[in-house]
Amino acid sequence: MKPISLTRFLIQEQQAGHINADLRLLIEVVARACKTIATAVGKGALGGVLGDAGTGNVQGEAQKKLDVLSNEILLEANEWGGHLAGLASEEMDHAHPIPNSYPKGNYLLLFDPLDGSSNIDVNISVGTIFSVLHCPDGVSEPHDEHFLQAGTAQVCAGYTTYGPSTMLVLTLGRGTHAFTLDREQGSFMLTRQDLCIPEDTQEFAINLSNQRHWEAPMQHYVADLLAGKTGPRGKDFNLRWVASMVADVHRILTRGGIFIYPIDAKCRDKGGRLRLMYEANPMAFIVEQAGGAASTGRQRLLDVTPNGLHQRIPVFLGSKNEVAAAERYHLQANANPG
Query: Which residues lie near ligand F6P (CB under 6 A)?
Result: 115-116, 118, 207, 243-245, 274, 279
Q: Which is nearer to ligand F6P, 196 or 243 (CB)?
A: 243
Residue 98, SS3 per DSSP: coil
- Interatomic CA distance for residues 23 and 277, integer angstroms: 19
Question: Do 50 and 121 contact (CB within 8 A), yes or no?
Answer: yes
Q: Which is nearer to ligand F6P, 101 or 209 (CB)?
A: 209
Question: Do 294 and 288 contact (CB within 8 A), yes or no?
Answer: yes
Shortest CB 243 distance to ligand F6P, Å: 4
Instruction: Report phi then psi at 309, rounded to 5.
Output: -60, -30
Shortest CB 270 distance to ligand F6P, Å: 12
Shortest CB 244 distance to ligand F6P, Å: 5
Q: Which is nearer to ligand F6P, 118 or 299 (CB)?
A: 118
256 Cα distance to chain centroid? 16
Shortest CB 273 distance to ligand F6P, Å: 6
Q: Which is nearer to ligand F6P, 105 or 116 (CB)?
A: 116
Q: Which is nearer to ligand F6P, 213 or 300 (CB)?
A: 213
Instruction: Report phi then psi at 296, rounded to 5.
Output: -90, 0
Q: Which is nearer to ligand F6P, 134 or 240 (CB)?
A: 240
Shortest CB 139 distance to ligand F6P, Å: 29
Shortest CB 159 distance to ligand F6P, Å: 11
Q: Which residue is nearest to ligand F6P (CB)?
A: 245
Q: Which is nearer to ligand F6P, 118 or 140 (CB)?
A: 118
Q: Which is nearer to ligand F6P, 115 or 203 (CB)?
A: 115
- Interatomic CA distance for residues 73 and 33, integer angstroms: 6
Q: Residue 253 is which amino acid?
A: L
- Interatomic CA distance for residues 144 and 147, integer angstroms: 6
Residue positions counted in the chain = 338
Alpha helices in the chain (DSSP H): 6-15, 21-43, 65-79, 216-227, 245-255, 281-289, 320-335
Shortest CB 286 distance to ligand F6P, Å: 14
The residues facing 192 across adjacent strands are 178
- Interatomic CA distance for residues 239 and 250, integer angstroms: 15
DSSP-assigned letters across all residues of 185-220: TTEEEEEE-S----S--SEEE--GGGGGGB-HHHHH
Shortest CB 121 distance to ligand F6P, Å: 13
Q: Which is nearer to ligand F6P, 166 or 244 (CB)?
A: 244
The CB density around residue 5, as the number of other CB atoms within 10 Å, is: 16
Helix axis angle, 245-255 relative to 281-289, nearest 10°? Answer: 10
The CB density around residue 81, as the number of other CB atoms within 10 Å, is: 16
Shortest CB 264 distance to ligand F6P, Å: 10
H or E segment and range at residue 169: strand 166-171
